[in-house]
Amino acid sequence: MKLIDVLKPNYIKIPLEGDSKEAVIKELIQVLHQNQVFEDTEEVFKAVMEREKIMTTGVGKGVAIPHCKHKNCPDFAIGLGIKSSGVEFQSIDNLPAKIIFLLVGPEDNPGMHIRLLSRISRLISKEDLREQLVKCKNSEDAYKLLKNAEDKFFEISG
């Protein structure tokens, strides 16, 4: 499964408005909720924040990948938010997160959940892609950038 199979242009919010980890996670949850990905926003928020308590999903280099598996999420979906000034995410490198991917999915497919997390991590490890994403002014540009990057990266590396 490709990221662009579960990340739609209307699941992308640029710029994020929140100034805290909780606020931007709620924003992305709201974006997915508005697109009928799931119904109960409060339960999904609680699940994401419970995951954050285990270990920060601020993976460093300006990226965070909050995620959860929850019975209220029948299908996998990825929301993406960009805030060029960044937001404190208790990242492993202590830098603010500017690019935030929110991955939600069903509880009964942990393998796919891990594969999608891995795919995000591998793709976003490219510094030039991160720099270009932060400069995107709208969701269509970010979507096209990720689609092209994913097509190139995974065509080469398999």
pLDDT in tens, 33-57: 999 999 999 999 999 999 999 999 9
- Distance CA(120)–CA(67), nearest Å, equals 12
Interstrand relation of 58-60 and 63-64 (parallel, antiparallel or unpaired): antiparallel
| Parent domain of 149 | 3-157
Distances (CA, A) of 74 to 44, 83, 119, 158: 12, 28, 20, 28
Say what the pLDDT of residue 156 is: 55
Tokens of 71: 């019975």
Helix, strand or coil, per DSSP, at residue 78: strand
Determine if the peptide bond prior to 66 is cis (ω within 30°).
no
Q: What is the pLDDT of residue 158?
A: 47
Nearest C-alpha neighbor of 12 from the set 67, 83, 69, 76:
83
Under 8 Å CB-to-CB from 93, ≥6 apart: which residues?
Answer: 60, 61
pLDDT at 109: 95
pLDDT at 97: 98
- Cβ(75)–Cβ(106) below 8 Å: yes
Q: How many domains does the chain have?
A: 1
Here the CATH number for the domain that contains residue 94 is 3.40.930.10
The predicted model scores a pTM of 0.95
Provide the residue-wise pLDDT of the chain in tens; the chain has 158 residues. 889 999 999 999 999 999 999 999 999 999 999 999 999 999 999 999 999 999 999 999 999 999 999 998 999 999 999 999 999 999 999 999 999 999 999 999 999 999 999 999 999 999 999 999 999 999 999 999 999 999 987 765 44
